[in-house]
A and B are shown apart, each in its own frame.
Chain A
Amino acid sequence: MKTWDGQPGPGKSRGGGDALSRRFYALLLAAYPREFRREYGGEMLLVFTERCRDETRAGGRAALARVWGETLADLALSAARERLDGRGDAVMRTLRTVVLALLAYAFALLVAAPLYVRYRGSMPTFAATSVDALISVGVIFNFIYLLLTLTRRVGRARAPRVTLVVAAVVVASLIALMTASLGPPARVNLEIVVAHALSLLLWFTIHSWWVLRRRPVEPPAPA
């Protein structure tokens, strides 16, 4: 069984206020994702126009104002939902990554840093250099990784490799600059280079393992 309103279509009875509302709502539909707009934008505009027409007939401008109030609230909520639709998991994953990173930085600042400052002097030279490298490379590597993944410049699978290359260039440049700033004879400290190279590899391994661990399992191919 099909039901009808038995009322004229929206194009058959439209006052100036309704026409203006219609135009304005058509502009506001841009808040929805393009695909959603293409599929349902026409019908949404039609529904809104019919509602404006009926409410204006029944209650005049006050009723039209109420329709607008309800429609704007509906638009704000539903447009946000459609924009997030299907990306909710991705958003939650990103949020979790950011929170974990912030917690790690907070831990490093509040707990590890004071301990490190206190005991660094009593460490063997290479151990102290290695810890220095681990921290400085860690800050650079994780910052670049976070930047690349948050801006979606590269996919998750490629992010560790791209970060390794970029971080290696940054670290090598910094070592070269610091060596040069010491004045002639400029001689690269091999211990520092080895410690930083090992740190780069360690951070790369940690991130690669993390990506592999979270990769979805492919379903078996049909026989």
Chain B
Amino acid sequence: MAGREPGELLPLTPAVFHILLALADAERHGYGIIKEVEARTDGAVRLGPGTLYGSIKRMLDEGMIEESDERPGPESDDERRRYYRLTDFGRRVATAEAERLSRLVASARAKRLLSRA
């Protein structure tokens, strides 16, 4: 994805942004991503397997995430699992999307649709 600007991929779908957030601090497998998103949103967002892997496929194609070669110890591993991690480009995309959303929230505050934090 050399030469691509993160802004070209914005706005992200909610599923893609949640996956980027889930991978921002750790490598995770598919179910790990689902659990992290669910925990972080207090159960409001529950990604289904089709949405998750459809998004993962597109994110791999776009170079936002990559598969990780590292695996846990055999006692907690399942060889059928694949682990994913954020690429540098994916991190920049996540940052750009977060800034975009932040500007939107600021606009909503300016219009008094939200109380000031």
User: Which of A2, A43, A81 sits near B80, CB closer than 8 Å?
Assistant: A43
Q: How extensive is the interface on chain A, given as a class?
A: 20 to 34
Stretch at the interface among B31-39, B98-106, B109-117: B31-39
Report chain A residues within 8 Å CB of B78: 9-10, 46
How many interface residues does B have (CB within 8 Å)?
A: 29
User: Quick check: is B56 within 8 A (CB to CB) of the other chain?
Assistant: yes
Report chain B residues within 8 Å CB of A70: 46, 48
Is there an interface contact between B57 and A40, defined as CB atoms closer than 8 Å?
Answer: yes
Interface flags, A167-207, vs B, CB<8A=1, else 0:
00000000000000000000000000000000000000000
Do A46 and B81 form a contact, CB below 8 Å, given A4-B72, A4-B76, A51-B31? yes
Q: Which of A6-32 contact B (CB under 8 A)?
A: 6, 9-10, 32
Is there an interface contact between B30 and A78, defined as CB atoms closer than 8 Å?
Answer: no
User: Quick check: is A71 within 8 A (CB to CB) of the other chain?
Assistant: yes
User: Which of A3, A51, A71, A81 sits near B54, CB closer than 8 Å?
Assistant: A81
B36, B48, B57, B82 — which one has the most chain A CB atoms within 10 A of its CB?
A: B48
A12 to B95 CA separation, bound complex (whole angstroms): 40
Is there an interface contact between A5 and B35, defined as CB atoms closer than 8 Å?
Answer: yes
Is there an interface contact between A74 and B50, defined as CB atoms closer than 8 Å?
Answer: yes
Is there an interface contact between A2 and B83, defined as CB atoms closer than 8 Å?
Answer: yes
- The chain A residue with its CB closest to the CB of B83 is A2
Report chain B residues within 8 Å CB of A32: 50
User: Which of B26, B54, B80 sits near A1, CB closer than 8 Å?
Assistant: B26
**Minimum C-beta distance from A29 to chain B (A):** 9
Interface flags, B21-53, vs A, CB<8A=1, else 0:
000011110111011100000000010111111
User: Quick check: is A42 within 8 A (CB to CB) of the other chain?
Assistant: yes
Interface flags, B65-101, vs A, CB<8A=1, else 0:
0001010100010101111000000000000000000
**Minimum C-beta distance from B32 to chain A (A):** 6
Is there an interface contact between B57 and A36, defined as CB atoms closer than 8 Å?
Answer: yes
- The chain B residue with its CB closest to the CB of A43 is B30
**Minimum C-beta distance from A220 to chain B (A):** 19
A residues contacting B by CB (< 8 A) are: 1-6, 9-10, 32, 36, 39-40, 42-48, 50-51, 70-71, 73-75, 77-79, 81-82, 85
B residues contacting A by CB (< 8 A) are: 25-28, 30-32, 34-36, 46, 48-54, 56-57, 68, 70, 72, 76, 78, 80-83
